[in-house]
């Protein structure tokens, strides 16, 4: 006997997808940051953690705009597939491509599509909830940047090429037709 799955709100799906994309989807970036000699004094976990929070908040900000019952699963599916493909294309993770793709996108996609999406009573309620998530995400982005402005500015000025390891950047650059 199959049990009924609990409907998930589109905002919750946006936040969960953003956290997954920032943690698992950015593995090449986290590995590159871990190997920097400037962070060898024990600051790497703190810097990587604050960067993960920043990236998750930025993803949440984007997905809060798309957190509508008919849109969010498709948007997250595209992001999961693109991120898995992008991480695989970097070649920085020592894992067979099929295994890597299954871990990064397969499991989350099965979970995402096995849960129904909860619908709000009206469009205005949905819009207010989406704006609330967007405002919280923007506040987290601002707080992380304010608290870590010196670390972020120094690190990204010294190692700006690491920003290309972010999966959306790598994904869009690979679609360039020169």
pLDDT at 93: 66
Question: Bigger pLDDT: 94 or 46?
Answer: 46
Predicted confidence (pLDDT) at residue 4 exceeds the cutoff of 60: yes
Q: What is the residue extent of each domain of the chain?
A: 10-173
Residue 42, Ramachandran bin (φ over 0: left; ψ between -120 and 50: alpha; else beta): left
Q: What is the pTM of this model?
A: 0.83
Predicted confidence (pLDDT) at residue 172 exceeds the cutoff of 80: no
Phi then psi for residue 117, to 5 deg, are -100, 130
Q: 165 to each of 64, 110, 162, how far by Cα in Å?
A: 24, 26, 5
Q: Considering only 16-25, 35-44, 71-80, which range has the smallest mean pLDDT?
A: 35-44
Question: Bigger pLDDT: 114 or 173?
Answer: 114
Whether the CB-CB separation of 99 and 168 falls below 8 Å is answered with no
Q: If you average pLDDT over every residue of the chain, what do you get?
A: 84
For the residues 36-49, what does the mean pLDDT come to? 83
Predicted confidence (pLDDT) at residue 167 exceeds the cutoff of 70: no
pLDDT at 153: 79
Question: Tens of pLDDT along 110-155?
Answer: 999 999 999 877 889 999 999 999 999 999 999 999 988 877 777 7
């Amino acid at each position: 006997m199959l049990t009924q799955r609990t409907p998930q709100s589109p905002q919750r799906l946006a936040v969960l997808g953003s956290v997954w994309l920032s943690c698992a989807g950015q593995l090449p970036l986290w590995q590159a940051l871990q190997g920097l000699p400037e962070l060898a004094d024990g600051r790497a976990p703190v810097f990587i953690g604050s960067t993960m929070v920043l990236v998750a908040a930025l993803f949440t900000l984007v997905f809060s705009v798309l957190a509508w019952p008919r849109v969010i699963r498709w948007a997250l599916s595209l992001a999961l597939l693109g991120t898995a493909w992008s991480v695989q294309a970097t070649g920085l993770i020592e894992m067979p491509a099929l295994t890597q793709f299954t871990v990064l996108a397969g499991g989350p996609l099965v979970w995402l599509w096995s849960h129904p999406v909860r619908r709000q009573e009206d469009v205005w309620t949905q819009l207010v909830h989406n704006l609330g998530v967007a405002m919280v995400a923007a506040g987290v982005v601002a707080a992380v940047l304010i608290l870590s402005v010196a670390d972020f500015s120094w690190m990204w000025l010294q190692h700006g090429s690491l920003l290309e390891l972010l999966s959306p950047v790598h994904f869009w650059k690979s679609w360039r037709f020169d």
